[in-house]
Amino acid sequence: MAVDGIFWGSGLHLQLAVTLDDLALTPQLLCEFDTVEPADPTKQGTSQARFYKRLGTVEYEVFAEIRRTAEQVAFKTMLKRRVKENASS
């Protein structure tokens, strides 16, 4: 459900619409992440990683495929949510 660019996702986490400015942050989010963890593999069996980065009151979650044979990290999906100012990252 969307209301003025705000989305309620699974688990009722408040999600915000991703903008072109957010997409421009992709290199920073993948290189200067706060946390990275393995994610479930794709349907084709390709390994994935989940990158987290907090910038102010916004937390970004980026999923990327790990393409070992090509030695690449390929952007897949970006989620964006608002977090409380004093919430730990």
| Residues 63/73/36/8 CA torsion (nearest 10 deg) | -10
% of the chain at pLDDT higher than 70 = 80
For the segment 32-51, what is each residue's pLDDT rounded down to a tens digit?
Answer: 999 999 999 989 999 999 99
Report yes or no on 10 lying in a domain: no
Q: Could you tell me the CATH number of the domain that includes residue 64?
A: 3.10.450
Say if residue 67's pLDDT is above 60.
yes
pLDDT band, very low/low/confident/very high, at 13 (cuts 50, 70, 90): low
As for how many domains the chain has, the answer is 1
Say if residue 1's pLDDT is above 50.
no
Say if residue 88's pLDDT is above 90.
no
Report yes or no on 4 lying in a domain: no
Burial status of residue 62 (CB atoms within 10 A of its CB: 0-12, 13-18, 19 or more): buried
